[in-house]
Amino acid sequence: MGKLISLEIDGNRVQVPEGTLVVDAAKRAGVNIPVFCYHPKMEPVGMCRMCLVEIGRPQINRETGEFNRNEDGSIAIQFGPKLETACTIPVSEGMVVQGFTNEVARARKDIIEFLLTSHPLDCPICDKGGECPLQNLTMDYGPGKSRFLYDEKKHLGKHVPLGELIYLDQERCIQCGRCVRFQDEVVDDAVIGFEQRGRSLQIVSYSEPGFDSYFSGNTTDICPVGALTTSDFRFGARPWEMKSAASICTHCPVGCNLTLNVRRDHKSGGGFVVKRVLPRQNEWVNEIWICDKGRFAHHYASSDDRLTQPMIRVDGEMKPATWDEALDLVAEKFKEAGSDLQTLVSGRISNEDLFNIGSITRSLGGKTALYSEMAGGDLVSMAGVGQGTNISMLGAGTTILVVASDLEEEAPINWLRVKQAVERGARLILANPRPTKLERYATHVLRYPYGSEAEFVLAMINSLSAKPLDISGSVFDTARVKNLKEAARDFAQADNAIILFGSEGTSLESGQRLAQACTNLLIITDHIGKVNSGLIGVWDRANTQGGWDMGFRPVEDLDSTLRNRQALYIVAADPAGDEPALVETLESTEFLVVQELFLTETAKLADVVLPAQAFIEREGTLTNGERRVQRFYAAVPKVGQTLPDFAIAAQIGSKLAIDLEGKSAARVMKQIA
Amino acid sequence: MIAQKYAAEIETILAKYPSDQKRSAVMPLLYLAQSKEGFVTKQDMAEIGDILGITATDVASIVGFYTLYYDKPGGKFRIQVCNDLPCALRGADEFLDKLCENLGIEIGQTTQDGSVTVEAVMCLAACDKAPMFQVQSRQGLTYYENQTVDSALEIVEDLRNQELTS
Amino acid sequence: MTELILLRHRDIPDLDQLEVYRKHGGFEPFRRAVTGMNPAEVTEIVKESGLRGRGGAGFPTGLKWSFIDPDNWPHYVVANADESEPGTFKDREIMEGNPYQFLEGVAIAAYAIQAREAYIYLRGEFWEIAAEMDQQISNLEEAGLLGDNLFDTDYSLRIYTHLGAGAYICGEETALLESMEGKLGQPRLRPPFPPSYGLYGKPTVVNNVETLTNVPLIIERGADWYRSIGTERSTGPKIFSLSGRVNKPGNYELPLGTTFRELVFEHGGGITDGRQVKAIMAAGASSSLIIANDEALDTPMDYESVPNVGASLGSASIIVIDDSVSIDWVLYKTLHFFSHESCGKCTPCREGTFWMRHIIDRIHEGETSWSDVELLNEVALQIKGKCLCALGEFAIEAVTSGIERFDSDFRARVADTRSEEPTLSS
Ligand SMILES: Cc1cc2nc3c(=O)[nH]c(=O)nc-3n(C[C@H](O)[C@H](O)[C@H](O)COP(=O)(O)O)c2cc1C
Ligand code: SF4
Ligand code: FES
């Protein structure tokens, strides 16, 4: 935060950091200056001209270097001949902004009327209706009626697909360029652009395959009119018809904060369904963005193939059963199995689920396993980034090492945040066996052969030691020595140093060594146990870190782990589906319990299938790659007889006289803590 | 396939600009592409994008913004008559109408034989020599000034013959 | 004025040949500057000469050069050869007839701000000129007047041409720079101005072709000589592009301060068909319509005086309109131009020019009533002062002045109109 500038906005004095734009300073003063093209997350362009205000500045007297003063001693303020755009002008000392003079009011009315000359005014059938800046600002500042002849309006495409997911209504577009600038500036994927010029200016995509980008959905959030809509929501519902629930994305270890908009739908027999998923602002995690996976992939949960009641295999046949029948059987078999009970869970489920499942397994002396091929969670718990870490505040003075991960693919929003940190001045060391898009931003690009990621990090460490030993060999040959030295130095000398490590090309064993090497690097460079420094796992699932924290560990040899068990309890994992060879292994077990949303390949082999609830139907907490524990809430009622995983486990427990919380995730949390 | 076809030209063009500012070459490269068939294909746009490290969409918006690039075929020769204010004050509109009449087409249309398209364009910096027009073809642009309908029709004939002989 | 400074080729045959140009002292000034003067001196002389930009804004050239940010390198010179203002055709004649003097001007400007690369942005229609110029540039390189270590100093300079592709807005300096960078030709916010943030974000001087063509002789003959031409505050010669309803349209190089009357009647040979002059546009389509009465005709054409008759000199593109022309038709033409050329970036210009074009079409068809004329005027005022660049402001000059000063033409147009008040949509 540089020095503070004080200025006056509509009579309110405010102090804001140097460089703040008038429009943002006004917000601080409680004055709302209307905008269309301006977006706080993007460079100002001053295109739409909606934010015109009167700006006065004190005049410095050349001789004295003092402000000129009026007779009464007050500082003389000079107003410019023209209105100025509040979105492009940084504050200056003594500035006086007037946002509500007649001239400003007229200007706003004029601009709105201009925008409406080309606008279809179809609010009643528009998806944006009710939450539309153009509609609202027209109510607040617009003219009573347009003097533009209706029959001279341009008639343009109403349903132009820019890609698979995003549709454009050309008549509604007001050419503010937010979407184009978002794709270009924010996510560096300029697959949409302006075509033609003047009044013919249109948003187009000439890319193959069209507007197909990791983050495309965000453009529909920032579009200030109803021009851009998502294929799954357009004409889906009116904003005011929907309730919303706070949730967390379960697709990757970033853990983006979500708002789920739900509404009763005739399609689902009047039941509540999720109509759309929106980002929920959290500057620490996802700012105001989410990736398309998080926005669109939730539909699986509303699928008709969901398991709705327990099933038991009776002479080879899957038969519906009551919870009691199913749970009695499960409890009995688990008890018999005792120490030969093997549990397999994935990071798809919440901490509460993991805790309860872990508890019953252990109290029966059974074994647990984490369905994951990535190691290092224990080290992350130890060397993870300190509490209060906020990548969106990091810039100069920070060095980030990304190793063995294609961030854009595996944790899209982290890709975005690392990119932006670099744009704010952070240094990026990118180490991967193959090129990835993030390389465009890397200070040092280092390539190592598949499998030698750990040696590579060790080489960095070695290059830092006073008397580096000469470990020649693959790593040094490939990752050019000099380059590697400099990278290591950048890392060591940074005030903040963060490592994001993934599992590209690693086995469990080599992954463990990678995590260990990364931890050592952090330790010897003294970047451990500090805010904004430490180790972040780019996990295969949203809550794999939670799995580690709850004592679950991945296993080297899944086959032998699962083979010939007396009882096997598999939750939120589908080994048979992922690895057909394991079918035979699973058949070798005496008694197989599968707790799932769907009848997966694994579930098909089960002796008992227990129907679980999806994240939209229940509450719980997830631990993201930065070890931030985040809570999500139920948005829609449960499907059929399904229960949350933690509750199912608790009921099994109660039948085995193991006392576990099954009422609410919150209570389980209390036990954990 | 401009990359191969014009390898040498592309190199000279790129040499004009700083090596980290390749994007500057997009306009010259579009002229190059247009010299093939008189318009720029989607394929060309994608290729130019690849050469310069920008998206096909970036290239397409350039094509769309500037009037001298075309993404659709037109006549082999585009006769572009200036009928902007200064030329119009010297009879450019009448000239344009008569010319079209004689060629049996409307402004913006192409003659049956596909040889010439007649277009009305904005000021060409030849206001003192109106009526005038420029001819845009794959070879580039040429000015023809102080024209009468007859002199213009002769020029059209020459162009047509040129086209046949070439 | 007897001697031509900018259009010397009219007096000197084959001046477009390098050897001829050099025989007449060509590239001596550049050599003198590079070998004998430090950059600041060069800028100082240009400042003293009082030379002001000929591209329209009339900004003092030396001052502009002195604004170049000395702490940010490299520096660039970009010559603005986009010449697209309707009624302007002076830069073209310079580049066709006297190219080397222009190129020498570019070179001197480059030396003055220590630029080692200079670009010439020509409008796409100047295709043939660009081809010639590439040749001329390589001639200069062969002659050792461009290239590395010029005149055995450590100063090196290369000049490149860059062709636009048909967009009036690219004459606006920041749109021009965007266009050169391979982006849409849409203006940037100003400030920052090119001398601090220009081509590729580097300090850049953008000057008009005619402006730069003045420079060699200023260096050769000195600031005092230059000041002796023109008026006190509008010094030097100016090329007036005369077009429209005059007998002898063309470029006329005259001292700034020459009257409209002298240009139109002495040099331009009077009005065609012996008709009466009715209105004059002094800055091409971007200018307001001047009522061509005696007061106006006797007004000196310089940056200070033209405003007295409610107009500005701009690029000095004098379009003469006689009494056979109805002003609503003039607006019809200019509005079609501006709505076609609006870049579309900012709302008032994009929507306003489009809307005005619709209204003027109705008026021009006579299919309307006076209320449309008033609406046209209101829409123009609605655009005024709100645009991101000057194009939008240019677009309304003729509209507001035309309706105010020649309202009878409009009344005549809509007088016997059949249709009543246009039905308004809400
Ligand atoms: C819409 C618009 C069009 C312009 N067109 C031209 C042009 O064609 N040629 C030119 O030299 N300047 C043009 N200008 C002025 C340039 O922006 C700039 O002021 C000029 O090139 C500076 O050079 P000078 O100082 O030598 O005049 C235009 C300005 C605007 C706003
Ligand atoms: S005034 Fe016109 S030309 Fe200038 S930025 Fe706005 S839209 Fe573009
Ligand atoms: S918000 Fe300021 S110009 Fe658009």
Which residue, chain included where needed, has tokens 């270890």?
A253
* Residue in A with minimal Cα distance to C379: A110
C55 alpha carbon – ligand 1 mean position (Å): 4
% of chain A at pLDDT higher than 70: 98
Choose from B20, B41, B61 for mutation: most chain A CBs within 10 A.
B61
Angle at Cα C287 formed by Cα C281 and Cα C290, nearest 5°? Answer: 45
Cβ neighbours, 10 Å, residue A520: 17
- Cβ contacts of A661 within 8 Å, gap of 6 or more: A356, A646, A650, A667, A668, A670, A671
Which residue, among A99, A95, A92, has the nearest Cα to A19 in the 3D structure?
Answer: A92
User: Mean per-residue pLDDT for C115-120?
Assistant: 98
- Please give the helix or strand (H or E) that residue B3 lies within, else none: helix B2-5
Which residue, among A227, A231, A222, has the nearest Cα to A287 in the 3D structure?
Answer: A222
Q: Is the dihedral of CA C363, C366, C367, C369 positive or negative?
A: positive
- With b meaning 16 or more CB within 10 Å and e meaning fewer, what string describes B26-40? bbbbbbbbbbeebbb
What count of CB pairs under 8 Å joins A to C? 100
Q: pLDDT per residue over A12-55, tens digit each?
A: 999 999 999 999 999 999 999 999 999 999 999 999 999 999 99
Among protein residues, the one with the nearest Cα to ligand 2's atom 6 is: C346
Phi, psi of A568 (to 5 degrees): -130, 130
In the predicted model, is pLDDT for residue A208 greater than 90?
Answer: no
Please give the pLDDT value at position A480.
Answer: 55
β A608-611/A620-623 pair status: unpaired
CA distance B161 to chain C (A): 22
Give the whole-angstrom CA distance, residue A657 versus residue A654: 5
In the predicted model, is pLDDT for residue B39 greater than 80?
Answer: yes
In the predicted model, is pLDDT for residue C375 greater than 70?
Answer: yes
In the predicted model, is pLDDT for residue A474 greater than 90?
Answer: no
Q: Token pair for residue A121?
A: 């005014």
In the predicted model, is pLDDT for residue A144 greater than 80?
Answer: no
- With b meaning 16 or more CB within 10 Å and e meaning fewer, what string describes C230-267? bbeebbbbbbbbbbbbbeebbbbbbbbbbbbbbbbbeb
User: Mean per-residue pLDDT for B71-90?
Assistant: 96
Against chain A, the chains showing at least 3 CB pairs within 8 Å are B, C
- Please give the helix or strand (H or E) that residue B35 lies within, else none: helix B26-37
Give the whole-angstrom CA distance, residue C261 versus residue C281: 13
The amino acid at C270: G
Q: Which atom of ligand 2 is nearest to the CA of C387?
A: 1
Residue C424 binned pLDDT confidence (cut-offs 50, 70, 90)? very low
Q: pLDDT per residue over C139-184, tens digit each?
A: 999 999 999 999 999 999 999 999 999 999 999 999 999 999 999 9
Residue A272 binned pLDDT confidence (cut-offs 50, 70, 90)? confident
Q: Do C425 and A114 touch (CB under 8 A)?
A: no
Contact with chain C for residue A197, Cβ under 8 A: yes
Q: pLDDT per residue over C25-54, tens digit each?
A: 999 999 999 999 999 999 999 999 999 999
Please give the pLDDT value at position C421.
Answer: 44
CA distance B50 to chain A (A): 12
Give the whole-angstrom CA distance, residue A405 versus residue A413: 14
C84 alpha carbon – ligand 2 mean position (Å): 16
In the predicted model, is pLDDT for residue A482 greater than 80?
Answer: no
- Cβ contacts of A257 within 8 Å, gap of 6 or more: A246, A247, A248, A249, A279, A280, A281, A282, A285, A286, A630
Among protein residues, the one with the nearest Cα to ligand 1's atom 19 is: C57
In the predicted model, is pLDDT for residue A543 greater than 90?
Answer: yes
Residue C418 binned pLDDT confidence (cut-offs 50, 70, 90)? very low
CA distance C225 to chain B (A): 31
Cα dihedral C210, C12, C123, C394, rounded to 10, equals 40
Contact with chain C for residue B86, Cβ under 8 A: yes
Please give the pLDDT value at position A627.
Answer: 96
Cβ–ligand 3 contact at A22 (below 6 Å): no
Contact with chain C for residue A155, Cβ under 8 A: no
Q: pLDDT per residue over A316-334, tens digit each?
A: 999 999 999 999 999 999 9
Set of chain A residues whose Cβ sits within 8 Å of the Cβ of C345: 45, 47
CA distance C426 to chain A (A): 4
Contact with chain A for residue B43, Cβ under 8 A: no
- Mean pLDDT check: name the lowest of A559-563, A606-610, C253-257, C366-370: C366-370
In the predicted model, is pLDDT for residue A533 greater than 60?
Answer: yes
Set of chain B residues whose Cβ sits within 8 Å of the Cβ of A212: none
User: Mean per-residue pLDDT for A147-170?
Assistant: 89
The amino acid at C311: A
| Interface predicted TM-score of the whole assembly (ipTM), two decimals | 0.93
Give the whole-angstrom CA distance, residue A384 versus residue A535: 4
Q: pLDDT per residue over C177-203, tens digit each?
A: 999 999 999 999 999 999 999 999 999
C201 alpha carbon – ligand 2 mean position (Å): 21
- Three-state DSSP class for residue C207: strand
In the predicted model, is pLDDT for residue C419 greater than 80?
Answer: no
The amino acid at A31: V
Query: Are A170 and A205 in contact, with CB atoms under 8 Å apart?
Result: no
Q: pLDDT per residue over B100-137, tens digit each?
A: 999 999 999 999 999 999 999 999 999 999 999 999 99
Q: Do A146 and C426 touch (CB under 8 A)?
A: yes
In the predicted model, is pLDDT for residue A1 greater than 60?
Answer: no
Give the whole-angstrom CA distance, residue A11 versus residue C314: 41
The amino acid at C120: I
Among protein residues, the one with the nearest Cα to ligand 2's atom 8 is: C343
Set of chain C residues whose Cβ sits within 8 Å of the Cβ of B31: 163, 165
Contact with chain C for residue B35, Cβ under 8 A: no
- Please give the helix or strand (H or E) that residue A620 lies within, else none: strand A620-623
- Select from C127, C241, C334 the Cβ nearest to the Cβ of B127: C241
Angle at Cα B163 formed by Cα B159 and Cα B164, nearest 5°? Answer: 120
The pTM score is: 0.94
The ligand 1 site (C-beta within 6 Å) comprises: C 53-57, 59, 80, 82-85, 169, 171-173, 206-208, 211, 389-391, 394
- With b meaning 16 or more CB within 10 Å and e meaning fewer, what string describes C51-71? bbbbbbebebbbebbbebbee
% of chain A at pLDDT higher than 90: 81
Which residue, among A64, A98, A61, A93, has the nearest Cα to A79 in the 3D structure?
Answer: A98
